[in-house]
Amino acid sequence: MALVLATQAPGEPEIFASVQGEGPSAGMPVTFVRLSRCNLACEWCDTAYTWHFEGDNRPHRDGETFERKANQVTLEVEEVAERVRALGQDRIVLTGGEPLLQASALAELLALLPDHSVEVETNGTTTAPTRLDIRIDQFNVSPKLSHSGNPADLALIPERLDFYATDPRAFFKFVIATPEDVEEVLALHERYHFKPGHVFLMPEGTESETLREREKWLAELCVEHGFRLSDRLHIHLFGDTRGT
């Protein structure tokens, strides 16, 4: 069985060791496995090369589309597992794109890596089948608010959010561009009763200056409403680059 991965360079899969930059595991050393393809289309997505291919007319603020052949590579799960083991970390972050679109192959991959703990970064529109779910230690769920440009009926599916809201492994990370976005988070929090300490607000941005400016007012809103603040450490350390 094979996985379709994003690339760091043409033909080179985006599998790399770094520190987790966001959410509850920020600062932890991990191996990232970035998969290609997504079922949503966020206008501000910073990994549009995983889905915004030539011929895709869904809007993105950069207006750039990517050649599929240069930005996708298919590898057998055995080779992916070998690359993960070679990087020497004991924690994996499965990210994308939307990794759960390739759930069957991911289950095969994790069966080959039984000693690794596993985080999945997901937009929360789908869930893992049992054979994959039993191998996941943490879900980093990032539901998309209206400023993402995704219709709510596609991005905020009640039964999916109900599922994650009751799972103690799930943390919620909301991308925030303006203070008004927090009102949407509050409405979702009231409806789904997210667990205390499991909601992060993270500034949208791909430059340190933008992140710092937004964090000034976002920190105050976190204090006011009891949410946690997530930075984007990788942006400060490496900039908006692949494989970091």
Predicted confidence at residue 200, as pLDDT, reads 98
The tokens describing 187, both together, are 């409405």
CATH code for the domain defined by 2-238: 3.20.20.70
Tell me the pLDDT tens digit for each residue of 124-159: 999 999 999 999 999 999 999 999 999 999 999 999
Taking residues 180-188, report their average pLDDT.
98
Q: In this predicted structure, what is the pLDDT of residue 46? A: 96
Strand intervals (E) in 63-222: 72-76, 91-95, 117-122, 138-141, 170-176, 199-203
**What are the CA-CA distances from residue 228 to residues 24, 142, 223, 237 (Å)?**
9, 14, 8, 21
Neighbours of 69 (CB within 10 A): 12
DSSP string, 31-66: EEEEBP--S---TT-TTGGGT-BTT--S--TT---B
pLDDT, mean over the chain = 97
Q: Which whole number is the average pLDDT over 51-55?
A: 96
Task: For residue 182, name the pLDDT band (cuts at 50, 70, 90).
Answer: very high
- Percentage of residues in the chain with pLDDT exceeding 90? 99
- Predicted confidence at residue 239, as pLDDT, reads 96
Max CA distance (Å), the chain: 48
Q: pLDDT tens digit string along 85-110?
A: 999 999 999 999 999 999 999 999 99
| pLDDT reported for residue 234 | 97
Q: What is the pTM of this model?
A: 0.97
Radius of gyration of the chain (CA): 17
- Across the range 71-87, mean pLDDT stands at 98
Q: What phi, psi does 106 have (nearest 5°)?
A: -65, -40
Res 25: pLDDT:
98
pLDDT score at 158: 98
pLDDT of residue 145: 98
